[in-house]
Amino acid sequence: MPEVLSQNEVDALLSAVSEVSVDLASDAQQSAARDISIYDFKRPERVSKDQMRALETHHEVMARNLAATLSGFLRTIADCKLTTVEQLTYSEFVMSLPNPTCFNVMSAQPLEGKVVLEINPSIVFPILDMLLGGTPNSGSVLEREMTDIEAKLFGQINERILGHLRETWAPIKMLDFQIVQTESNPQLLPIVAPNEVVVLISLEIRIGEVAGMMNLCIPYPVIEPVMSAFSTVQSWYTQTGKSEQVAEATDYLQASLKTAVLDVVGYLAETEISVRELLELKPGQVLTTEKPVSSPLMMTVAGKPKFLGKAGTYRGKKAFQVIRPARPEDRA
């Protein structure tokens, strides 16, 4: 005869089954909660976080190089820093821009589609002020369109920005950025659908007491063919110890440094005078120094003694002929 369970044993089994069911239900809920992630259909993220970090790394380098270029070209201290790299829709990008502004539509051959380079008037007109011999200040900021002459003059700045863009994207893909159209009202040149996802790269340019934003807007369909290369480039930056990668990094850095701008100054001579003598100087007076006329002159590069040579003219232009490198004992 089979053994018959008592009522107490039946109750204990039913209680154990109910506890196991509760535990399995809570585990299923926790697992489901871990698998759920918020997705905003208005702002879909089509670029991964690793790819966004790679974009950020590349354009941080571009910001530093652009600051050096602007400093040399404008003959003043210019600062440029990367502020944001984010994904949003094209309509959100356009609505965030001032009107009027410097809105440049660019091609990026061989990629298909258009890219936008927008530069705020808050920095455009101060730069134009400097190019025309003025001093940038809050009064330099105007709310109007650029004239044809001003647009032609500011084209020199645009060309330098495009050059840095080509260098920045060279490790990913050789792109030929060219401005194909310029408009002051950003809403008049819709390059993609309003709800299309774009990558917005924003840089702040600061010169003296004035500052303004420069925005690079890249629609996702334009860069989608090269997005797979970003993962490769990111690993290339993070991995170390491989000789081939070190050599490539060295070549890339050397190529970037070749475009850096340095101040070169040739010193005829130097002497010491008192403040009284300085205040009493008049046109026509002569300052005598202990430096012989026949001795070589000192050339400084970025404020540091570098070469000795002779000053003169070459093909109708001022020139400096290098004789030898400067030594610690040499003086101007």
Average pLDDT over residues 288-310: 85
- Name the residue with tokens 């006329």: 293
Same domain, 138 and 202: yes
Lowest mean pLDDT among 89-93, 122-126, 255-259, 311-315: 255-259
Q: Does residue 215 sit in helix, strand or coil?
A: strand
Q: List residues bridging with 82 in a β-sheet.
A: 203
Q: Residue 75 — very low, low, confident or very high, per pLDDT cuts 50/70/90?
A: confident
Question: Domain residues for 160?
Answer: 49-257
Residue whose pair of structure tokens reads 């002929």 in the numeric block: 321
In a domain, 26, yes or no: no
Q: Give the contacts of 65 (CB within 8 A, at least 6 positions apart).
A: 164, 167, 256, 259, 260
Q: State the CB neighbour count (10 A cutoff) for residue 16.
A: 10
Phi, psi at residue 236, to the nearest 5°?
A: -65, -35
- Alpha helices by DSSP H, listed for 75-120, are 90-95
Residue 3 lies in a domain: no
Indicate if 203 and 251 belong to the same structural domain. Answer: yes
Whether residue 226 sits in one domain with residue 165:
yes
HSE-CB at 293 with a 13 A cutoff on CA atoms is 1
Q: Are residues 146 and 200 in the same domain?
A: yes
pLDDT (0 to 100) of residue 42: 55
- Helix, strand or coil for residue 78? strand
34 part of a folded domain: no
The CATH number that applies at residue 292 is 2.30.330.10
Average pLDDT score over residue span 59-65: 90
- pLDDT at residue 161, rounded to an integer: 92
Q: What is the number of H-type helices and E-type strands within the chain?
A: 9, 10
What was the pLDDT predicted at 241?
46
Q: Is residue 2 part of a domain?
A: no
One domain for residues 273 and 197: no
pLDDT digits (tens, 9 = 90+) for 197-206: 999 999 999 9
CA–CA dist 31, 34 (Å, integer): 5
Same domain, 68 and 170: yes
State in Å, rounded, how far the first CA of the chain is from the last one.
118
CB atoms near residue 118 (< 10 Å)? 22
> Are 308 and 203 part of one and the same domain?
no
pLDDT of residue 116: 93
Co-location of 101 and 226 in the same domain: yes
68 and 146 part of one domain = yes
Would you say residue 314 lies in a domain? yes
The average pLDDT across 197-224 equals 91
Helix (H, G, I), strand (E, B) or coil at 44: coil
The percent of residues in the chain predicted with pLDDT above 90, rounded, is 19
**Residue 22 belongs to a domain:** no
> Residue 4 falls within a domain, yes or no?
no
In-domain check, residue 154: yes
Regarding whether 139 and 92 lie in a shared domain, the answer is yes
236-268: b or e for each residue (b if 16 or more CB lie within 10 Å)?
A: eeeeeeeeeeeeeeeeeeeebeeeeeeeeebee
DSSP one-letter string for 216-261 = EEEEHHHHGGGTHHHHHHHHHHH--S-HHHHHHHHHHHHHHHTT--
Domain final position from 257, 277, 310: 257
Last residue of a domain, one of 257, 287, 304: 257
The sheet that has 210-219: what strands, in order across it?
78-89, 197-207, 210-219, 114-119, 102-109, 176-183
CATH number at residue 54: 3.40.1550.10
The pLDDT of residue 147 is above 60:
yes
Q: Which pLDDT value is given to residue 162?
A: 93
Domain count across the chain: 2
Per-residue pLDDT at 226 = 84
Q: Do 81 and 188 fall within a single domain?
A: yes
Residue 49 has pLDDT above 50, yes or no: yes
Going by pLDDT thresholds of 50, 70 and 90, the confidence category of residue 30 is low
- 115 and 214: one domain? yes
Q: Is residue 308's pLDDT more than 50?
A: yes
Q: What is the pLDDT of residue 235?
A: 47
